[in-house]
């Protein structure tokens, strides 16, 4: 099974690139399932119902969120009705929506997706390590799902690494979101789980993590309250990670970074029956 995870979709530039390119990416990479982090899709802050529907129509199967999940208030009532839209599983009990789901591909394979949010340099939230352990204990690869994807939404690379260690041998892919900068540590962990500390963003890299550079720099340099951050408007690079799973075990057979368009050096896996 071939699965694609796309990092944080940033503003109009990012969502336009994903929506326009998704049908071709699904076809050219022969993808079975696509997950995207959408928490910055609405002008950099949250996601709307309209954007969710546009991403689903374009070919995204599941959308994750993160610490900006509730920036657009309309999502609070929408998320309980839409199982394809996830928020972090370790939000406190009683939070609307769900943090994990089990989905079926067109060929009938089962894909479990869970989002875990870190606590280092992030808003207060329930403990992520026990939450991930509980999920993996109750959703076993090869028994309950043919593939398991973990979105680790966090600031600290150490925390993401540690959560990846918990996932190793128990998930197909553990991949970070939130930092907006793609890391170069794409690899298969010792017990077979594909891993990358951060997938990067789908957004304009001539910016400060997707925001207008001039405004962001002034906010760093001045002590007074500054301008509201605004998304940059340049061409977006689509950034993500693609993993191909072993159909017998559900573990990663291969893993590749994905970069398409914009300013970063492009990289797309070569597909010819099997990954090159």
Digit-coded pLDDT (tens) for 223-262:
777 789 999 999 999 999 999 999 999 999 999 999 999 9
User: Of 43, 68, 256, 263, which one is the catalytic site residue?
Assistant: 68
**Sign of the CA dihedral running 178, 182, 185, 187:** positive
DSSP state of 203: B
pLDDT tier at 272 (50, 70, 90 boundaries)? low
Q: Structure tokens of 199?
A: 């997938």
Q: What share of the chain is helix, strand, coil (3-state, %, to 5)?
A: 25, 30, 45
Topology adopted by domain 2-275: Purple Acid Phosphatase; chain A, domain 2 (3.60.21)
d(CA 230, CA 271): 38
Q: 3-state DSSP call for residue 237?
A: strand
Q: Is 213 exposed, middle or buried (0-12, 13-18, 19+ CB in 10 A)?
A: middle
Is 68 a known active-site residue? yes
- Whether the per-residue pLDDT at 273 is higher than 50: the answer is no
Q: In what order do the strands lie in the sheet with 252-260?
A: 62-64, 33-37, 2-6, 238-245, 252-260
pLDDT at res. 275: 41
Q: What does the alpha-carbon distance between residue 216 and residue 198 come to, in Å, rounded to a whole number? A: 22
Average pLDDT score over residue span 19-32: 97
Return the percentage of the chain with pLDDT > 70, whole number. Answer: 98
Question: Residue 45's CB: how many other CB atoms inside 10 A?
Answer: 16
Quote the pLDDT of residue 269. Answer: 94
């Amino acid at each position: 099974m071939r699965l694609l995870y796309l990092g944080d979709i940033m503003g109009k530039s990012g969502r336009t690139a994903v929506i326009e390119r998704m049908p071709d990416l699904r076809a050219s990479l022969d993808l079975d399932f696509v997950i995207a982090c959408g928490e910055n899709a609405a002008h950099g802050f949250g996601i709307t119902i309209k954007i969710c529907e546009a991403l689903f129509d374009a070919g995204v199967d599941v959308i994750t969120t993160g610490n900006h999940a509730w920036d657009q208030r309309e999502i609070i009532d929408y998320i309980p009705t839409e199982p394809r839209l996830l928020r972090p599983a370790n939000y406190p009990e009683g939070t609307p929506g769900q943090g994990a789901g089990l989905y079926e591909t067109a060929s009938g394979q089962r894909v479990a997706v869970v989002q875990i949010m870190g606590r280092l340099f992030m808003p207060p939230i329930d403990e992520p390590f026990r939450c991930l352990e509980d999920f993996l204990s109750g959703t076993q690869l090869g028994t309950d799902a043919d593939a398991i994807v973990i979105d680790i939404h966090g600031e600290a690379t150490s925390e993401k690494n540690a959560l990846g260690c918990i996932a190793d041998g128990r998930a197909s892919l553990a991949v970070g979101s939130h930092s907006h900068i793609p890391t170069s540590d794409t690899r298969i962990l010792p017990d077979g789980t594909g891993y990358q500390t951060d997938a990067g963003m789908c957004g304009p890299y001539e910016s400060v993590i997707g925001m207008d550079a001039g405004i962001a720099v002034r906010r760093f340099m001045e002590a007074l309250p500054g301008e509201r951050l605004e998304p940059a408007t340049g061409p977006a690079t689509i950034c993500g990670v693609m993993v191909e799973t072993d159909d017998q075990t559900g573990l990663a057979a291969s893993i590749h970074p994905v970069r398409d368009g914009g300013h970063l050096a492009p990289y797309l896996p070569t597909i010819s029956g099997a990954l090159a």
